Amino acid sequence: MNAVWVVLLATVLRLVFANFTGLGIDESYMVAASDHFAASYFDHPLVSWWLELGSRALFHSMAPIVVRLPFILLSAVSSWLIYRITARLYTRGAAFWAVVAYNISPVFSLAFGSWVLPDGPLDTALLAALYAMLRALGIAAVPTPPQPRWWLAAGFFAGLACLSKYNAALVLAGAGLAMLSDPLSRRELRRFAPWVAAVLAVAMFMPVIWWNATHGWQSFAFQGDRATGLRLHPLAPLTVWGGEALFLLPWLWLPMVCLQIGALRRGPAERRGWLLSLLGLLPVVLFSVFGIWSSTKILYHWATPGYLMLLPMLGSWAENFAPRLRNTVAALSAFLLAFAAMFIAAEATLNFIPGLNHFFPPGKSPLLQIVDWDTAAAGIPRQAQAVVALRWFDAGKIGYALRDRLPVTVFGADPHEFGIATPPASLLHKNILILAMPGNVSQIADEYAPDFMLLRPGPALTVMHGHDVLLVIPTLIGTDLRHVPGT
């Protein structure tokens, strides 16, 4: 029952946070760039896109709380799954502390638990697949006979994980390593059921492969390029691990890493720790290794599916850790997370610290992440039949503020999903408002003037937060787009 109260309180916190903060950059982009159900999308597979599209269709709204609601509900489901998994593998006390750890971790509780991102659905699907796999293999605190009928559920949820985000493959590869290296689990490969599960997961992923094949392999190429590069960063693993520790909370991250190393050292004789540690191994290790040579910045949340798999071990460890210190740290962490979330929500809604953005360079205020650009959208002149940005994230913010009133796309080499949802060619012969940033407005005008019958300065659009100006956006108005820029 204590775990139920933790989940309920965390869910209420997420609902308040989601309702009183604007969409972040990635969220705005996902909502603004998606206007239809598709077999896949440029950045990620379909699940997260379908969830926000479905919620919009159900409630006939694009309000932040509406598009975020499916992700908040899934975070509660993830908490329940963590409890069931940990209680099966260890004890109910361990399950309680695993749920607490999940709900006090900023990246799991707030980012993946309330934002429109593919990671929330990914986490839920991976946890469901893990629970089904434990039942299928008979792995528990007190070993039970294998239940082959659970393989079908494992394959289904593995397929959903792959339809949520590509890095699900790393966790699933860890599952394969665990089965091959554990003698008891390896026996199950003689059965027909595990192979049916694998075929089902692959079959569910086929729409994404088909979409990529019909779109020039754009999504696979985009994600694959992140692991390539020619720049050498020998200290990158330390930076990546440090960032992951901050996202998870250092006092959660360090025990998880130590527990994983210990489980790997003990080997497959201790089946619970061996399976969990191998499930988390590839995400935890590979992204830090990629950072050594990758020319793309490794984002710290990419490895979190691996740490998610370690939460049951963390719960078991926390159950037996110094009770007074453990309880104090947990309570303080929960308070700080709740305080930070409510502070951000209050500032986003009430602007009770006027002039806060003055402490940051022009256009760099973090408030731009939590304030929707509605005031800028209100300043778009009536003659504009479409809006164009020069960066995908600017297109996302202005596109969400417009709420589908005008088509939005990106001019340039990196339009992301906007290049598919609203190809620049679809705007031929329209009057277009260009967001003339970043860079010199005169140079931008010189670059795009040949593509229009007439290109002239437009009104400055202002992103306001209360009475404070967060960003002034220079614009250009192009009459009659005659050529697609760059062609």
Residue 442's pLDDT band, with cuts at 50, 70 and 90, is very high
pTM: 0.94
Per-residue pLDDT tens over the stretch 180-209: 999 999 999 999 999 999 999 999 999 999
Q: Which residues contact 286 (CB under 8 A, 6 or more apart)?
A: 170
Q: Which residues pair with 476 in a beta bridge?
A: 434, 457
151: its two tokens: 């393989």
| 462 and 456 Cβ atoms separated by less than 8 Å | no
pLDDT (0 to 100) of residue 57: 95
Asked if 52 contacts 34 with a C-beta cutoff of 8 angstroms, the reply is yes
Give the model's pLDDT for residue 228.
63
Predicted confidence band of residue 242 (pLDDT cuts 50, 70, 90): confident
Give me the pLDDT at residue 165, please.
96
**What three-state secondary structure class fits 466?**
coil
Q: What value does the mean pLDDT take over residues 205-231?
A: 84
In this prediction, residue 358 has a pLDDT band, given cuts at 50, 70 and 90, of: confident
When pLDDT is averaged across residues 398-420 and rounded to a whole number, the result is: 93
Residue 333: CB atoms within 10 A of its CB come to 19
d(CA 387, CA 424): 10
What confidence score (pLDDT) does residue 289 get? Answer: 79
Whole-Å CA distances, 132 to 29, 159, 341: 34, 13, 34
Give the pLDDT confidence score for residue 8 in this predicted structure: 95
Average pLDDT (369-382) is: 93
Residue of 284, 276, 285 lying closest to 304 (CA atoms):
284
Give the pLDDT score at 35.
84
Q: What tens digit of pLDDT does each residue of 154-181 get?
A: 999 999 999 999 999 999 999 999 999 9
Residue 294: pLDDT band by 50, 70, 90 thresholds? low
- What the block records as the tokens of 16 is 């308040």
pLDDT for the residue 231:
63
The region of weakest confidence among 147-156, 287-296, 367-376, 438-447 is: 287-296
Report pLDDT digits (tens) over 376-402.
999 999 999 999 999 999 999 999 999
Lowest mean pLDDT among 57-71, 207-221, 237-251: 237-251
Q: What is the mean pLDDT of residues 449-464?
A: 93
Characterize 105-137 residue by residue with b for buried, 16 or more Cβ atoms within 10 angstroms of its Cβ, and e for exposed: bbbbbbbbbbbbbbbbbbbbbbbbbbbbbbbbb
Residues 6+ apart with CB under 8 A from 168: 122, 125, 126, 158, 161, 162, 305
The closest alpha carbon to 408, from 19, 47, 32, 141, belongs to 32
Q: How confident is the model at residue 56 (pLDDT cuts 50, 70, 90)?
A: very high
Whether the pLDDT of residue 95 is over 70: the answer is yes
Query: What pLDDT shows up at residue 301?
Result: 82
Mean pLDDT (whole number) for 57-67: 96
pLDDT at res. 360:
76
pLDDT score of 295 more than 70: no
**How high is the mean pLDDT of the chain?**
92
Amino acid at 373: W
| Residue 15 in this model has a pLDDT that exceeds 70 | yes
pLDDT band at 350 (very low <50, low <70, confident <90, very high): confident
Share of the chain above pLDDT 70, in %: 96
pLDDT above 90 for 302? no
Length of the chain: 487
Task: Judge whether residue 299 has pLDDT over 80.
Answer: no
State mean pLDDT over 226-250. Answer: 76
The yes-or-no verdict on residue 227 having pLDDT over 90 is: no
Q: In terms of C-beta density within 10 A (0-12 exposed, 13-18 middle, 19 or more buried), how is residue 214 classed? A: exposed
Share of the chain above pLDDT 90, in %: 80
Helices (H), 291-322: 304-308, 311-319
- What is the spatial distance between Cα 240 and Cα 294, in angstroms, rounded to a whole number? 12
pLDDT at 425 exceeding the cut of 80: yes
Residue 217 has pLDDT above 70, yes or no: yes
